[in-house]
């Protein structure tokens, strides 16, 4: 039995196939340039650290007054895949890390179902601070915080973005279309016309497990872009 079987069961999948990620030596950024070198990666890591420090000091909106920790994001600085969620929850706010707890465990399973691990991707949220009681983000909060996300994407320079949930998709695509309208097709993110695929947020999948099959289709669409 495959070591991934428990994750496929959690995703509601019985029969599955996936393509392994391309070897590191075959990595190309979206504009067709050469793979990121160690020196370039170190420069990106330094720039991300500076940006993280800026986020930790941020007082652009009132959320800074109720947070325990700003949640900048985490992952591989030269990642081919970048996953974007909505905002930190209680556990994320406590630990200062994105996607921990049950939603994080499900995201791990989603990654493994397509042959990826958290060490190979970069994960971030639109908002870097937790809204009280996990309420939906306000428009002005998204407006004030989303420039940080755009800078993260520019620095990591992934080959594909997966937007998880309505707020992430709408913020990245600058649209008011619903999740149903945005799923099922490949969009283009404004920076370097990066391909962007929209799927459900893992927290939603925990509440609505019947949607896991649809999310699997979204991940397969993203894999077809990468292959």
**224 CB-contact burial (10 Å; exposed 0-12 / middle 13-18 / buried 19+):** exposed
pTM of the entire predicted model: 0.84
Angle between helices 101-113 and 212-226 (to 10 degrees): 50
| Residue 123 structural domain | 45-226
CATH number where 63 lies = 3.40.470.10
Q: How far apart are CA 209 and CA 69, in angstroms?
A: 30
Strands 194-199 and 187-189: antiparallel
Overall domain count for the chain: 1
Tokens for 52, please give them.
């993280």
> Using CA atoms, how far apart are residues 185 and 150, in angstroms rounded to an integer?
22
Is residue 78 in a domain? Answer: yes
Residue 6 lies in a domain: no
Residue 23 maps to a domain: no
Q: Each residue of 153-192: pLDDT tens digit?
A: 999 999 999 999 999 999 999 999 999 999 999 999 988 8
Instruction: Find all residues with CB under 8 Å of 142, minimum gap 6, and list them.
Output: 126, 127, 167, 171
Q: Is residue 195 part of a domain?
A: yes
- Report pLDDT for 38: 67
Tens-place pLDDT, residues 68-79? 999 999 999 999
Residue 175 lies in a domain: yes
Comparing CA positions, the residue from 135, 77, 113 lying closest to residue 217 is 113
- Asked whether residue 166 is domain-assigned, the answer is yes
At 110, list the tokens. Answer: 């989603």
Within a domain: residue 50?
yes
**Rounded to whole angstroms, how far apart are CA atoms 57 and 12?**
41
How does pLDDT run across 30-64, given as a tens digit for each residue? 333 334 456 678 899 999 999 999 999 999 999 99
On whether residue 16 sits in a domain, the answer given is no
Residue 161 near residue 84 (C-beta atoms within 8 A): yes
């Amino acid at each position: 039995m495959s070591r991934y079987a428990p994750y496929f069961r959690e995703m509601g999948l019985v029969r599955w196939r996936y393509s392994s990620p391309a070897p590191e030596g075959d990595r190309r950024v979206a504009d067709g340039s050469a793979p990121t070198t160690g020196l370039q990666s170190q420069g990106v890591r330094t720039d991300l650290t500076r940006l993280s420090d800026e986020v930790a000091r941020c007082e652009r909106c009132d959320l800074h007054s109720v947070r325990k920790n700003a949640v900048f994001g985490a992952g591989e600085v030269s990642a081919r895949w970048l996953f974007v969620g909505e905002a930190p929850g209680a556990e994320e706010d406590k630990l200062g890390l994105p996607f921990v707890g049950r939603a994080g465990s499900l995201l791990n399973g989603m990654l493994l179902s397509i042959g990826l691990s958290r060490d190979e991707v970069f994960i971030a949220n639109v908002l870097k601070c937790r809204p009280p009681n996990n309420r939906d983000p306000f428009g002005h909060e998204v407006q004030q915080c989303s420039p940080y996300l755009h800078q993260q994407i520019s620095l990591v320079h992934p080959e594909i973005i997966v937007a998880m949930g309505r707020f992430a998709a709408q913020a990245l695509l600058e649209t008011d279309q619903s999740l149903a309208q945005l799923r099922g097709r490949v969009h283009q993110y404004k920076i370097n016309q990066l391909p962007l695929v929209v799927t459900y947020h893992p927290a939603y999948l925990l509440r609505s497990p019947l949607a896991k099959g649809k999310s699997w289709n979204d991940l397969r669409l993203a894999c077809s872009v990468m292959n």
